């Protein structure tokens, strides 16, 4: 079978080496004669796995000691809710910065749980010379007392990424679902980071939460024990049965990333991959991208064909060439190439070659 390059935004492709190892271990993990899915989460072998996973993640992201790492159920949206229920008890208020589909969905959920009065919203994307650009307001000028400010560092649907760190008088809560570990960040600048796993971590369903210790004393609402950050922390993320297979695979992805050289090496590769693709888009008038250069996502490269009547043919021919899942999100249309950590540069090069050839044939 020829190589297939999968550009799906999530669940996304996982490193091939990890998938091959998992395949081998599927019926015999760790010499136990059974898979990791079939053993107790309280067994010493599984607990050793979870400890190693946390240790490697802490190394990869350089997570300071005063932060807890939680492995939770519920994906990215689960955390849209958890942030509110854990931090907005006692009529607290929060500020949400919106920059696209996912941060807007987080606002919707926050308002659903806390009510309109407790949630303020500022749209931080402006259209300048026809391009979407993030214009961060000066948060220090806002005279309000917020429990936290929430933003989404990479808008998976819109292809908008925010690389700068927020200068905020309130704790920063960030949705890093589609950018976590794609470039180096300073964790100490955040009150809480969360990420659904299905892009740079592992299978869907799992979410990772990295939370600063003092955040855990904020007043919470009555909520499910499973979604309570304090209960999760006090029970080493095992208040109930965790998604063990997803946790195992995440641990394998962390080890893989370490072997590749860690986040700083991955960042350079990701820069190269994104550059290749954006250069192709910019050099051919056949394609366009509507995001300002400084906010172009390195993980989700959105682009449109100048002649959208060719969209269907583009997608069909790409698929024939082994380049799959390039269709843009149904809300925004066009194309989207998601090039997370697991996408090798060869896959991006193959896409660029295909795009050049397709443009040539139709120009």
Interacting residue with ligand PMP among 96, 102, 248, 354 (CB under 6 A): 102
336 is known to lie in a ligand binding site: no
CB 6 → ligand PMP: shortest distance, Å?
15
198 is known to lie in a ligand binding site: yes
Whether the CA torsion 43, 44, 47, 52 is positive or negative: it is: negative
The values of phi and psi at residue 138, to 5°, are -80, 100
Q: Do strands 119-123 and 323-324 pair parallel, antiparallel, or not at all (unpaired)?
A: unpaired
Tokens of 260: 């590749």
Rank residues 95 and 305 by Cβ distance to ligand PMP and give the closer one. 95
212 is known to lie in a ligand binding site: no
Closest Cα partner for 204 from 11, 53, 51?
Answer: 11
Residue nearest to ligand PMP (CB): 75
What's the rounded Cα separation, in Å, for the pair 279 and 352?
9
CB 203 → ligand PMP: shortest distance, Å?
10
CB 145 → ligand PMP: shortest distance, Å?
27
Using CB under 6 A, which residues numbered 136 to 195 contact ligand PMP? 152, 156, 175, 177-178
Site size for ligand PMP (CB under 6 A): 12
Q: What DSSP string runs through 259-271?
A: HHT-HHHHHHHHH
The values of phi and psi at residue 273, to 5°, are -60, -50
Beta bridge partners of 212: 67
175 is known to lie in a ligand binding site: yes
Beta bridge partners of 65: none
86 is known to lie in a ligand binding site: no
Closest Cα partner for 329 from 109, 92, 129, 156?
Answer: 156
Using CB under 6 A, which residues numbered 285 to 324 contact ligand PMP? none
Rank residues 22 and 195 by Cβ distance to ligand PMP and give the closer one. 195
Using CB under 6 A, which residues numbered 55 to 84 contact ligand PMP? 75-77
What's the rounded Cα separation, in Å, for the pair 265 and 219?
40
Q: How many CA atoms within 13 Å lie on the side-chain side of 289? A: 28
Rank residues 196 and 334 by Cβ distance to ligand PMP and give the closer one. 196
170 is known to lie in a ligand binding site: no
CB 181 → ligand PMP: shortest distance, Å?
14
CB 152 → ligand PMP: shortest distance, Å?
5
Q: Is 329 in the site for ligand PMP (CB under 6 A)?
A: no
Q: Do strands 5-6 and 323-324 pair parallel, antiparallel, or not at all (unpaired)?
A: parallel
145 is known to lie in a ligand binding site: no
Q: How many CA atoms within 13 Å lie on the side-chain side of 247? A: 24
CB 323 → ligand PMP: shortest distance, Å?
20
Residue 129 and residue 153 in contact, taking contact as beta carbons nearer than 8 Å? no
Closest Cα partner for 292 from 155, 126, 154, 176?
Answer: 126
Active site residues: 102, 175, 199
Rank residues 10 and 159 by Cβ distance to ligand PMP and give the closer one. 10
Binding-site positions for pyridoxal 5'-phosphate read: 76-77, 102, 156, 175, 198, 240-241
Binding-site positions read: 42, 76-77, 102, 156, 175, 198, 240-241
List residues near ligand PMP by CB under 6 A. 10, 75-77, 102, 152, 156, 175, 177-178, 196, 204
Binding-site positions for L-glutamate read: 42
């Amino acid at each position: 079978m020829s190589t297939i390059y999968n550009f799906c935004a999530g669940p996304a492709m996982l490193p091939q080496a990890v998938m091959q190892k998992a395949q081998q271990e599927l019926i015999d993990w760790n010499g136990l004669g059974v898979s990791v899915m079939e053993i107790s989460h309280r067994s010493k072998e599984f607990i050793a796995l979870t400890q190693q996973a946390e240790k490697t993640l802490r190394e990869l992201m350089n997570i300071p000691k005063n932060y807890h790492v939680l492995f939770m159920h519920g994906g990215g949206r689960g955390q849209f809710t958890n942030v509110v229920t854990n931090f907005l008890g006692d009529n607290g208020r929060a500020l949400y910065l919106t920059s696209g589909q996912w941060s807007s969905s987080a606002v919707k959920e926050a308002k659903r749980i806390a009510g309109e009065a407790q949630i303020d919203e500022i749209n931080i994307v402006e259209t300048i010379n026809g391009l979407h650009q993030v214009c961060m307001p000066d948060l220090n000028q806002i005279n309000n007392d917020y429990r936290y400010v929430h933003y989404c560092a990479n808008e998976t649907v819109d292809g908008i990424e925010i690389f700068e760190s927020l200068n905020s008088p309130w704790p920063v809560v960030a949705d890093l679902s589609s950018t976590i570990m794609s470039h180096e960040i300073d964790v100490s600048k955040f009150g809480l980071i969360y990420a659904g796993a299905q892009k740079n971590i592992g299978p869907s369903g799992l979410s990772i939460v990295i939370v600063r210790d003092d955040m855990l004393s904020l007043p919470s609402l009555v909520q499910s024990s499973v979604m309570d950050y304090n209960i999760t922390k006090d029970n080493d993320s095992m208040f109930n049965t965790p998604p063990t297979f997803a946790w195992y695979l995440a641990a394998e992805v962390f080890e893989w990333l370490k072997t590749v050289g860690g986040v700083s090496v991955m960042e350079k590769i990701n820069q190269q991959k994104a550059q290749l693709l954006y250069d192709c888009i910019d050099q051919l008038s056949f394609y366009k991208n509507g995001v300002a250069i400084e906010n172009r996502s390195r993980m989700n490269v959105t682009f449109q064909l100048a002649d959208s009547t060719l969209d269907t043919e583009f997608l069909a021919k790409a698929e024939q060439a082994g380049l799959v899942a390039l269709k843009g999100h149904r809300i925004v249309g066009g194309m989207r190439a998601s090039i997370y950590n697991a996408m090798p540069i060869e896959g991006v090069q193959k896409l660029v070659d295909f795009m050049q050839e397709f443009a040539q044939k139709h120009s």
